[in-house]
Chains A and B, each alone.
Chain A
Amino acid sequence: MTTPTAPPVATPAARVRGVLRSPVFLSVVGALLIGSVMLLGAGGNPIEAYAAMVEGAFGSTQWRNTLIVAVPVVGMALAVAVPLRAGVVNLGGEGQIVLGGITAAVVAATVPLPMPVSLVAALAAGALAGALLGTVPAVLENRLGVPLLVSSLLISYPVVAFASYLVRFPLRDPGTGLPQSRVFDEAYRMPVFAGVGLSALILLVVIVLVVQVDSRTPFGYEVRLTGHNRRFTEYAGVDVPRMVTRLMFTGGGIAGLVGAMVVLSVPYRYIDGALVVPGYTWTGLLAALLARAHPLGAVAAGVFFAALQVGGFGMERETEVPRELSSILQATVIVILAAAVAATARRTRKDRA
């Protein structure tokens, strides 16, 4: 989908040329060039800064941090990619991740349960809360024609405010002066096996499920078809509104699950802003856009953007260039990519004509 200019005979050289001319490659290189200009403007050395970024993301001890950040970012990338596969933009990730997180925190703080049941209950509650919140904009669009794009975004503001209220008042740990809940019971802490968190394993299962449904089921096929041409799919008799509801339920559910997993991991308490400030939602959204909603692509793009994010901290430590450069690079890639994909499609159409 992203490489409509596949050469008829794929010799190795042609394949390399195809990659070099692919919109994704062009946009990443373009963003790095623009980033270099900004680095020079800020008095930095682009080569040093990018080297520090790579070292900061994949250095001997750093890759572990990258993996820790990659779990929520990849999760949020899937939360966007699942509906985006049908052309539906889920801008409500922030509300969905926060509602999932606060729901898990409420379960952990109020329901005493034994170990495996406790985690299953908290994670399921978080995922369900996110899923239901994701469904609301879909229903509003299907039933009333309220544009999902804006309603999914707007609904996040009261949800984030509500979670913030809960953790500042009823759930607050009176022992500290900070807006955070008490530390959860032993039973509500995500275990770590041999250095790999349970969160990463659960995410792996989610990835496998999404990929299977996408590539192996009629539903997945219909979803992809809708992404290419919604009107045609409707003509073919597919109930697209119902599909949108199911996709938003799934996307919201993944976001809610991510929120729950983050909250139930170190430091085992709900901290106000902990799900919002790191920007998991928006990094994930940009990753999904970079992958143009391809599920495995979204995973790869999520890891790439998580590495950029973590590498940004390393770059800031080494070169004093602000780490916000990472966000600039991510957004710039998407702007160029959107233009490059459209331009390539246009050129292909002309070639065929």
Chain B
Amino acid sequence: MSVLAELVDASLIPSILRALTPILLAALGGAICAKAGVFNVGLEGFMLVGAFAAVAGSWFTGSAWVGVLAGMLAGAAMAALLAIASVRYGGDEIIVGIALNLLAVGLTAFLLRTVFGHQGTFTDPDLQGLPTILGQTPLTYLAWLLVPVLAVFLRRHVWGFRLQGVGEAPEAARSLGVDTTKYRYGAVLASGVLCGLGGAQLSLGNVVLFSHNMTAGRGWVAVVAVLLAQAAPFGVLLAALLFAAAEAFGFRLQGVGLPSQVAAATPYVLTLIALIVASLRARRALGRAPGEPPPSADRPPVANPAASSHVSLE
């Protein structure tokens, strides 16, 4: 039983919470976009640029909070590119999102070398990280607080109402005088800010450094969390919690002698299993046996209405 004791103890919970914060913040951003009818797969890139800007901001001013602000702004700037290319000009949001993710990897590597003169990783004892309250950064508390706030906003506030209208019935919203473009812009920019916060948590909270491609797929995990929860804030929290637990648990597995590759793969395998289980359940709820073709293949049951794996080449 000593193995189990090593895997599960009281300190597992704080490490789960730490792993949760970046994923949750990014996923909430993705949820807002999904509500507005934008399938945002650029979360990974927004977060990576946010993480870099947070380290740069903190390093050059000596204040972690300026770093957080820089991360938010950088995330919003990346998001603005998605908004211009996809919302303004109508470019395919999946293609633009994927390209922005790759742009973020190249851009941060380029800036790491030109701004810091480092390759791969930058860290310094003088680099200011975020303060902690009861072992967690303020961003963790903020992330948790945002879950009910967003839920209430979407259900009770007129802007939240309109936002959902823009996603579900854009024509109807437009005929009621709602500027759908403005709402989509707002949603995408908000996701950029939230991803920037998530990136700051990653590079100034969970660790105090920036390293090449340090988001390592967390943004994609956030995309899956949005799909699983159909963009409902509390559902997003639950899904993100599942992946954070897998990440924290994966690290523990390393401690009991399993190869580190198992730890690296655990969260993604679990994410995939969760997607499959959710699809099976959704299928069953619709009263069809597994294996029967879906009513419309470009609307997978676990996805939000905006989500489709198929891009248009027109």
Question: Is B310's CB within 8 Å of the partner chain A?
Answer: yes
Q: Do B272 and A161 touch (CB < 8 A)?
A: no
Dominant SS at the B interface?
helix
Cβ–Cβ < 8 Å partners of B113 in chain A:
322, 324
Cβ–Cβ < 8 Å partners of B12 in chain A:
none
CA distance A310 to B125 in the complex (A): 36
CA distance A145 to B312 in the complex (A): 19
Q: Which one, A38, A89, A165, contacts B94 given CB within 8 A?
A: A89
Q: A149-B94, A322-B110 are in contact. Are A286 and B102 (CB under 8 A)?
A: yes
Q: Which one, A145, A292, A330, A343, contacts B300 given CB within 8 A?
A: A145
Within 8 A of B (CB), among A222-240: 227-231, 234, 240
| A169: nearest chain-B partner, CB-CB | B259
Interface residues of A toward B: which range? 35 or more
CA distance A227 to B171 in the complex (A): 25
Q: Do B268 and A325 touch (CB < 8 A)?
A: no
Q: Do A142 and B293 touch (CB < 8 A)?
A: yes
Q: Which one, B96, B220, B268, B300, contacts A146 given CB within 8 A?
A: B300
- Of A47-55, A120-128, A150-158, A206-214, the one contacting chain B is A150-158
Q: A89-B309, A325-B110 are in contact. Are A150 and B224 (CB under 8 A)?
A: yes
Question: Is B217's CB within 8 Å of the partner chain A?
Answer: yes
Q: Do B265 and A154 touch (CB < 8 A)?
A: no
Cβ–Cβ < 8 Å partners of B71 in chain A:
none
- Of A56-64, A258-266, A332-340, the one contacting chain B is A332-340
CA distance A87 to B298 in the complex (A): 11
Q: Do A154 and B224 touch (CB < 8 A)?
A: yes
Q: When each residue 310-321 of chain A gets 1 if its CB lies under 8 Å from chain B and 0 otherwise, what string results?
A: 000000000001
Q: Do A328 and B313 touch (CB < 8 A)?
A: no
Question: Is A65's CB within 8 Å of the partner chain B?
Answer: no
Cβ–Cβ < 8 Å partners of A330 in chain B:
102, 106
Shortest beta-carbon distance, B303 to chain A, in Å? 6
Shortest beta-carbon distance, A333 to chain B, in Å? 8
Q: Which residues of B contact A (CB under 8 A)?
A: 41, 81, 84-86, 88-92, 94-96, 98-100, 102-103, 105-107, 109-110, 113-114, 217, 220, 223-224, 227, 259, 261-262, 264-265, 268-269, 271-272, 275-276, 279-280, 282-283, 290-291, 293-294, 297-298, 300-303, 307-314
- 8 A-B pairs with CB atoms under 8 Å apart are A141-B309, A150-B223, A157-B265, A158-B268, A332-B103, A338-B92, A340-B89, A343-B90
